[in-house]
Amino acid sequence: MKPNMTEWKKYEKELFTKYSEEFPDHEIKINDKIIGQFSKVKRQIDISIRKNVTNYSVLGIIECKYYNRKVDVKIVDCFIGFLDDIKANFGIIITNKGFTQAAKNRAEVKSIKLHIHKFENIENLIKDVDYYFNQRIKNLELNEQDFYQRVKEYSNYIDFEKVDFEKKVIVFKNGFTNTEYYAWKKLMQETSRVFRDFPEIERIEIITPAKRKFFEKNKYIIEDRVYKSNIELNEFEIFMKVNFSELKNDVKIWRKFLNRTNLNNKNFIQSFAKKYVTSEILINN
Protein backbone atom coordinates (compact mmCIF):
# COMPACT_ATOMS: atom_id res chain seq x y z
CA MET A 1 0.00 0.00 0.00
CA LYS A 2 1.33 3.42 -0.98
CA PRO A 3 1.15 6.50 1.26
CA ASN A 4 -1.03 9.35 0.05
CA MET A 5 -0.01 11.34 -3.03
CA THR A 6 0.94 14.45 -1.03
CA GLU A 7 3.58 12.54 0.96
CA TRP A 8 4.96 10.89 -2.18
CA LYS A 9 5.25 14.18 -4.09
CA LYS A 10 6.95 15.84 -1.14
CA TYR A 11 9.43 12.98 -0.95
CA GLU A 12 10.18 13.23 -4.68
CA LYS A 13 10.57 17.02 -4.47
CA GLU A 14 13.04 16.71 -1.59
CA LEU A 15 15.19 14.36 -3.66
CA PHE A 16 15.03 16.61 -6.72
CA THR A 17 16.08 19.62 -4.63
CA LYS A 18 18.98 17.69 -3.09
CA TYR A 19 20.33 16.53 -6.46
CA SER A 20 19.92 20.01 -7.97
CA GLU A 21 21.96 21.51 -5.13
CA GLU A 22 24.68 18.86 -5.35
CA PHE A 23 24.98 18.87 -9.16
CA PRO A 24 24.48 22.45 -10.39
CA ASP A 25 26.38 21.77 -13.64
CA HIS A 26 24.11 18.83 -14.61
CA GLU A 27 20.75 18.96 -16.37
CA ILE A 28 18.27 17.68 -13.80
CA LYS A 29 14.54 17.35 -14.45
CA ILE A 30 11.62 16.21 -12.34
CA ASN A 31 8.71 14.33 -13.95
CA ASP A 32 10.67 14.01 -17.19
CA LYS A 33 9.44 12.04 -20.22
CA ILE A 34 11.42 10.04 -22.77
CA ILE A 35 10.07 7.95 -25.66
CA GLY A 36 11.08 4.32 -25.18
CA GLN A 37 13.15 2.69 -27.92
CA PHE A 38 11.08 -0.51 -27.69
CA SER A 39 7.74 0.61 -26.25
CA LYS A 40 7.54 3.62 -28.63
CA VAL A 41 5.59 5.57 -26.01
CA LYS A 42 6.51 8.35 -23.59
CA ARG A 43 7.87 6.94 -20.35
CA GLN A 44 7.48 8.98 -17.18
CA ILE A 45 10.66 9.54 -15.13
CA ASP A 46 10.68 10.72 -11.53
CA ILE A 47 14.08 12.43 -11.77
CA SER A 48 16.50 12.44 -14.70
CA ILE A 49 20.14 13.56 -14.64
CA ARG A 50 22.05 14.34 -17.84
CA LYS A 51 25.53 15.53 -18.66
CA ASN A 52 27.93 15.32 -21.60
CA VAL A 53 31.19 13.78 -20.44
CA THR A 54 34.18 13.22 -22.74
CA ASN A 55 32.05 13.53 -25.89
CA TYR A 56 29.51 11.08 -24.50
CA SER A 57 26.01 11.80 -23.24
CA VAL A 58 25.30 10.16 -19.87
CA LEU A 59 21.71 9.67 -18.68
CA GLY A 60 20.85 8.66 -15.14
CA ILE A 61 17.38 7.83 -13.82
CA ILE A 62 16.22 8.23 -10.22
CA GLU A 63 13.11 6.29 -9.22
CA CYS A 64 11.42 7.36 -5.98
CA LYS A 65 9.50 4.70 -4.06
CA TYR A 66 7.78 6.07 -0.96
CA TYR A 67 6.03 2.97 0.36
CA ASN A 68 4.64 1.49 3.56
CA ARG A 69 6.51 -1.72 2.79
CA LYS A 70 9.85 -2.80 1.37
CA VAL A 71 10.48 -2.62 -2.36
CA ASP A 72 10.20 -6.15 -3.78
CA VAL A 73 11.89 -7.94 -6.67
CA LYS A 74 9.06 -7.21 -9.13
CA ILE A 75 9.68 -3.47 -8.87
CA VAL A 76 13.43 -3.88 -9.43
CA ASP A 77 12.77 -6.22 -12.36
CA CYS A 78 10.43 -3.68 -13.99
CA PHE A 79 12.96 -0.91 -13.39
CA ILE A 80 15.69 -2.84 -15.20
CA GLY A 81 13.44 -3.17 -18.25
CA PHE A 82 12.54 0.50 -17.95
CA LEU A 83 16.22 1.53 -18.03
CA ASP A 84 16.75 -0.59 -21.13
CA ASP A 85 13.74 0.94 -22.89
CA ILE A 86 14.90 4.54 -22.43
CA LYS A 87 18.61 3.70 -22.93
CA ALA A 88 19.67 4.98 -19.52
CA ASN A 89 23.30 4.54 -18.47
CA PHE A 90 22.45 3.98 -14.84
CA GLY A 91 19.51 3.89 -12.49
CA ILE A 92 18.94 4.40 -8.78
CA ILE A 93 15.91 3.35 -6.78
CA ILE A 94 15.40 5.34 -3.59
CA THR A 95 12.95 4.24 -0.96
CA ASN A 96 12.01 5.06 2.60
CA LYS A 97 11.36 1.48 3.78
CA GLY A 98 14.21 -0.57 2.34
CA PHE A 99 14.26 -3.64 0.07
CA THR A 100 13.57 -7.33 0.21
CA GLN A 101 16.56 -9.65 -0.14
CA ALA A 102 15.28 -10.80 -3.53
CA ALA A 103 15.18 -7.18 -4.71
CA LYS A 104 18.78 -6.67 -3.57
CA ASN A 105 19.87 -9.83 -5.35
CA ARG A 106 18.17 -8.77 -8.59
CA ALA A 107 19.80 -5.34 -8.43
CA GLU A 108 23.25 -6.92 -8.44
CA VAL A 109 23.01 -7.93 -12.11
CA LYS A 110 26.38 -6.82 -13.44
CA SER A 111 25.13 -5.74 -16.85
CA ILE A 112 22.78 -3.20 -15.26
CA LYS A 113 24.07 -0.08 -13.52
CA LEU A 114 21.52 -0.08 -10.74
CA HIS A 115 21.93 1.01 -7.13
CA ILE A 116 19.32 1.04 -4.43
CA HIS A 117 19.41 3.08 -1.24
CA LYS A 118 17.45 4.27 1.68
CA PHE A 119 16.73 7.98 1.59
CA GLU A 120 18.33 8.48 4.99
CA ASN A 121 21.71 7.52 3.52
CA ILE A 122 21.83 10.63 1.34
CA GLU A 123 25.63 10.78 1.11
CA ASN A 124 25.70 7.43 -0.68
CA LEU A 125 23.17 8.75 -3.18
CA ILE A 126 25.51 11.59 -4.03
CA LYS A 127 28.55 9.30 -4.23
CA ASP A 128 26.81 6.97 -6.68
CA VAL A 129 25.92 9.76 -9.09
CA ASP A 130 29.42 11.19 -8.69
CA TYR A 131 30.85 7.81 -9.63
CA TYR A 132 28.81 7.36 -12.79
CA PHE A 133 29.62 10.80 -14.14
CA ASN A 134 33.22 10.87 -12.98
CA GLN A 135 34.36 7.48 -14.24
CA ARG A 136 34.74 8.81 -17.79
CA ILE A 137 36.84 11.74 -16.55
CA LYS A 138 39.06 9.32 -14.63
CA ASN A 139 39.58 7.30 -17.82
CA LEU A 140 40.86 10.28 -19.82
CA GLU A 141 44.37 9.76 -21.16
CA LEU A 142 46.81 12.35 -22.41
CA ASN A 143 46.57 11.59 -26.11
CA GLU A 144 45.47 13.68 -29.06
CA GLN A 145 42.05 12.07 -29.43
CA ASP A 146 41.03 12.45 -25.77
CA PHE A 147 42.46 15.96 -25.65
CA TYR A 148 40.49 17.25 -28.64
CA GLN A 149 37.29 15.47 -27.61
CA ARG A 150 37.46 16.91 -24.12
CA VAL A 151 38.34 20.43 -25.28
CA LYS A 152 35.33 20.30 -27.61
CA GLU A 153 33.11 19.89 -24.56
CA TYR A 154 34.52 22.93 -22.80
CA SER A 155 32.69 25.43 -25.00
CA ASN A 156 31.07 26.06 -28.38
CA TYR A 157 33.56 28.91 -28.80
CA ILE A 158 36.67 26.76 -29.25
CA ASP A 159 38.75 27.83 -32.28
CA PHE A 160 39.91 24.39 -33.40
CA GLU A 161 42.04 25.77 -36.22
CA LYS A 162 44.31 27.24 -33.56
CA VAL A 163 44.14 24.55 -30.88
CA ASP A 164 47.45 22.69 -30.74
CA PHE A 165 47.84 19.40 -28.87
CA GLU A 166 51.62 19.21 -29.26
CA LYS A 167 52.17 22.74 -27.94
CA LYS A 168 49.29 22.42 -25.45
CA VAL A 169 47.47 25.55 -26.62
CA ILE A 170 43.71 26.17 -26.41
CA VAL A 171 42.18 29.16 -28.21
CA PHE A 172 38.68 30.56 -27.83
CA LYS A 173 36.75 32.60 -30.39
CA ASN A 174 35.14 36.01 -30.03
CA GLY A 175 32.12 35.86 -27.76
CA PHE A 176 33.53 33.48 -25.17
CA THR A 177 34.47 36.39 -22.90
CA ASN A 178 33.16 39.93 -23.34
CA THR A 179 35.04 41.87 -20.69
CA GLU A 180 38.58 41.96 -19.36
CA TYR A 181 37.56 40.76 -15.90
CA TYR A 182 35.57 37.84 -17.32
CA ALA A 183 38.55 36.92 -19.50
CA TRP A 184 40.73 36.72 -16.38
CA LYS A 185 38.15 34.60 -14.60
CA LYS A 186 37.67 32.17 -17.49
CA LEU A 187 41.41 31.79 -18.04
CA MET A 188 41.73 30.75 -14.41
CA GLN A 189 38.76 28.37 -14.59
CA GLU A 190 39.72 26.75 -17.90
CA THR A 191 43.33 26.31 -16.81
CA SER A 192 42.04 24.52 -13.72
CA ARG A 193 39.77 22.35 -15.84
CA VAL A 194 42.58 21.28 -18.19
CA PHE A 195 44.91 20.39 -15.33
CA ARG A 196 42.09 18.45 -13.63
CA ASP A 197 41.34 16.47 -16.81
CA PHE A 198 44.99 15.97 -17.78
CA PRO A 199 47.25 16.36 -14.71
CA GLU A 200 50.09 14.88 -16.79
CA ILE A 201 50.30 18.16 -18.72
CA GLU A 202 53.22 20.22 -17.47
CA ARG A 203 52.14 23.54 -18.99
CA ILE A 204 49.04 24.88 -20.77
CA GLU A 205 48.52 28.08 -22.74
CA ILE A 206 44.99 29.46 -23.10
CA ILE A 207 44.00 32.42 -25.28
CA THR A 208 40.72 34.33 -25.42
CA PRO A 209 39.67 37.64 -27.02
CA ALA A 210 37.75 40.19 -24.96
CA LYS A 211 37.02 43.89 -24.74
CA ARG A 212 38.82 46.22 -22.35
CA LYS A 213 36.86 49.28 -21.28
CA PHE A 214 38.63 52.18 -19.59
CA PHE A 215 38.16 55.90 -18.97
CA GLU A 216 40.58 58.34 -20.59
CA LYS A 217 40.39 62.03 -21.44
CA ASN A 218 36.84 62.35 -20.13
CA LYS A 219 35.46 59.49 -22.20
CA TYR A 220 35.20 55.72 -22.18
CA ILE A 221 37.39 53.81 -24.60
CA ILE A 222 36.81 50.20 -25.63
CA GLU A 223 39.68 48.13 -26.98
CA ASP A 224 39.54 44.71 -28.60
CA ARG A 225 42.30 42.71 -26.94
CA VAL A 226 43.66 39.17 -26.74
CA TYR A 227 44.27 37.76 -23.26
CA LYS A 228 46.74 34.93 -22.70
CA SER A 229 47.84 32.73 -19.84
CA ASN A 230 50.76 30.30 -20.06
CA ILE A 231 50.91 28.39 -16.80
CA GLU A 232 53.05 25.60 -15.40
CA LEU A 233 51.20 22.92 -13.41
CA ASN A 234 53.32 22.77 -10.25
CA GLU A 235 53.38 26.53 -9.85
CA PHE A 236 49.63 26.77 -10.42
CA GLU A 237 48.92 24.07 -7.82
CA ILE A 238 50.80 26.15 -5.26
CA PHE A 239 48.90 29.29 -6.24
CA MET A 240 45.50 27.54 -6.15
CA LYS A 241 46.42 25.41 -3.10
CA VAL A 242 45.17 22.21 -4.71
CA ASN A 243 46.34 18.89 -6.14
CA PHE A 244 44.75 18.46 -9.57
CA SER A 245 45.27 14.69 -9.62
CA GLU A 246 43.04 14.46 -6.55
CA LEU A 247 40.39 16.55 -8.30
CA LYS A 248 40.38 14.13 -11.22
CA ASN A 249 39.89 11.14 -8.95
CA ASP A 250 36.92 12.58 -7.09
CA VAL A 251 34.37 14.78 -8.85
CA LYS A 252 32.87 15.82 -5.52
CA ILE A 253 36.18 17.43 -4.54
CA TRP A 254 36.20 19.12 -7.95
CA ARG A 255 32.74 20.61 -7.37
CA LYS A 256 33.78 21.85 -3.94
CA PHE A 257 36.85 23.38 -5.55
CA LEU A 258 34.69 25.24 -8.10
CA ASN A 259 32.46 26.55 -5.32
CA ARG A 260 35.35 27.87 -3.27
CA THR A 261 34.82 31.51 -2.35
CA ASN A 262 38.16 32.72 -3.69
CA LEU A 263 37.40 31.45 -7.21
CA ASN A 264 34.66 34.07 -7.39
CA ASN A 265 36.50 36.66 -5.34
CA LYS A 266 37.41 39.76 -7.32
CA ASN A 267 40.68 40.35 -5.49
CA PHE A 268 41.78 36.75 -5.99
CA ILE A 269 40.94 36.84 -9.71
CA GLN A 270 42.87 40.11 -10.05
CA SER A 271 45.87 38.55 -8.32
CA PHE A 272 45.68 35.64 -10.77
CA ALA A 273 45.61 38.08 -13.70
CA LYS A 274 48.55 40.06 -12.34
CA LYS A 275 50.62 36.90 -11.97
CA TYR A 276 49.68 34.94 -15.08
CA VAL A 277 47.79 36.98 -17.70
CA THR A 278 49.17 39.12 -20.49
CA SER A 279 47.21 41.00 -23.15
CA GLU A 280 47.70 42.86 -26.38
CA ILE A 281 45.52 44.83 -28.76
CA LEU A 282 43.72 42.59 -31.23
CA ILE A 283 44.73 43.37 -34.80
CA ASN A 284 42.25 42.08 -37.37
CA ASN A 285 43.85 40.83 -40.56
Q: What share of the chain has pLDDT > 90, as a percent?
A: 47
**Cα-Cα-Cα-Cα dihedral of 238, 241, 245, 250, to 10°?**
-170
Beta bridge partners of 48: 29, 61
5-138, CATH topology level: Trna Endonuclease; Chain: A, domain 1 (3.40.1350)
On whether the CB atoms of residues 72 and 100 are closer than 8 A, the answer is yes
Instruction: Give the strands of the sheet with 277-281, arranged side by side.
Output: 169-171, 203-216, 219-232, 277-281
Structural domain spans, the chain = 5-138, 144-281
Longest dimension (CA), the chain: 79
> What are 134-174's pLDDT values in tens digits?
777 888 899 999 999 889 878 889 999 999 999 999 999 99
pLDDT digits (tens, 9 = 90+) for 247-280: 888 777 877 787 776 788 999 999 999 999 999 9
Lowest mean pLDDT of 57-66, 68-77, 108-117, 201-210, name the range.
108-117
High-pLDDT (> 70) share of the chain, %: 90
Q: Nearest Cα to 21, choosing from 264, 192, 255?
A: 255
Give the model confidence (pLDDT) of 165-208 as tens digits: 999 999 999 989 989 999 999 999 999 999 999 999 999 999 99
Q: Report the Cα 14 to chain-centroid distance in Å.
A: 21
